[in-house]
């Protein structure tokens, strides 16, 4: 059987932390869609490299162009940097680089070189000015096409960028999908889980995909 739910949070829903269902939607925890994670690199106003671990995004396009869609919280460095520079790079880290990804959040001041301080190496991009992360197997250079608030009065903003250049490490050029997944080891973000019947919540985690 299927249970039907309206969109209002219910009183018996546990929150993992205070205001969790104000800052995020309870639906994200109840539905639990895993999102691939990547590092968005941009340049801060003072010229220092910025890295943001990100997961609210998707990729789509046709022969006329391939696009990255990102949702960013207003108030972060990446949000301000993209509005100012109109460009960014998307770098795909592997599960083995999880600790470095966490460091980009721990060392997030204006004065931080967030690529070097996380233990990565910055390399110049080919088309844009934002740096790429040399250790990531995939880098997608993006130019802003349009941006819009997710909804009026909200704190999240949608950015659409055209992918204007791609760098692929030779290890992920294999046509065998199994081999490619084994090399990519892309981290998927499961933000957390909520059982909307009992109201119980459990913390999220990261996962990787495999072919079935
Ligand atoms: C696994 C994971 C996924 C995240 N996904 C997003 C996201 O999709 N959008 C967002 O705005 N912040 C996301 N964050 C939070 C940002 O990484 C964090 O706020 C970061 O410090 C912002 O960096 P910035 O101020 O340099 O932009 C995520 C954090 C983690 C741990």
pLDDT at residue 172, rounded to an integer: 96
Handedness of CA 48, 49, 55, 58 (dihedral sign): positive
Task: Determine if the pTM surpasses 0.95.
Answer: yes
3-class DSSP state for residue 200? coil
Of 110, 116, 111, the C-alpha closest to 135 is: 116
Q: Distance between CA atoms of 140 and 188, rounded to whole angstroms?
A: 18
Tell me the pLDDT tens digit for each residue of 105-155.
999 999 999 999 999 999 999 999 999 999 999 999 999 999 999 999 999
pLDDT at residue 167, rounded to an integer: 98
Residue ID of nearest Cα to ligand 1 atom 22: 52
Q: Check pocket membership of 76 for ligand 1, CB cut-off 6 A.
A: yes
pLDDT at residue 178, rounded to an integer: 95
- What is the number of the ligand 1 atom nearest to the C-alpha of 51? 26
What's the 166 CA to ligand 1 centre distance in angstroms? Answer: 23
Q: Check pocket membership of 42 for ligand 1, CB cut-off 6 A.
A: no
Domain spans, the chain: 38-186
Q: Check pocket membership of 132 for ligand 1, CB cut-off 6 A.
A: no
Measure the CA dihedral 17/23/25/28, to 10°: -70
Q: Check pocket membership of 44 for ligand 1, CB cut-off 6 A.
A: no
pLDDT at residue 156, rounded to an integer: 97
What's the 212 CA to ligand 1 centre distance in angstroms? Answer: 30
According to CATH, the topology of domain 38-186 is Pnp Oxidase; Chain A (2.30.110)
């Amino acid at each position: 059987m299927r249970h039907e739910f309206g969109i209002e949070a219910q009183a018996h829903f546990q929150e993992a932390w205070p205001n969790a269902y104000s800052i995020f939607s309870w639906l994200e925890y109840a539905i639990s869609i895993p999102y691939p994670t990547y590092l968005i690199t941009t340049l801060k106003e003072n010229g220092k490299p910025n890295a943001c671990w990100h997961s609210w995004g998707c990729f789509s396009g046709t022969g006329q162009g391939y696009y990255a869609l990102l949702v960013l919280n207003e108030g972060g460095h990446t949000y301000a940097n993209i509005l100012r520079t109109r460009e960014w790079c998307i770098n795909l880290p592997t599960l083995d680089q999880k600790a470095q990804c966490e460091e980009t959040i721990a060392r997030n001041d204006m004065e931080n070189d967030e690529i070097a301080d996380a233990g990565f190496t910055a390399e110049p991009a080919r088309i844009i000015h934002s740096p790429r992360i040399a250790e990531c197997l995939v880098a997608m250079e993006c130019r802003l096409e349009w941006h819009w608030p997710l909804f009026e009065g909200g704190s999240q903003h949608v950015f659409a960028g055209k992918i204007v250049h791609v760098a692929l490490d030779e290890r992920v050029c294999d046509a065998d999908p199994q081999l490619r997944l084994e090399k990519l080891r892309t981290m998927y973000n499961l933000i957390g889980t909520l059982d909307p019947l009992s109201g119980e919540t459990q913390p999220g985690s990261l996962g990787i995909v495999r072919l079935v």
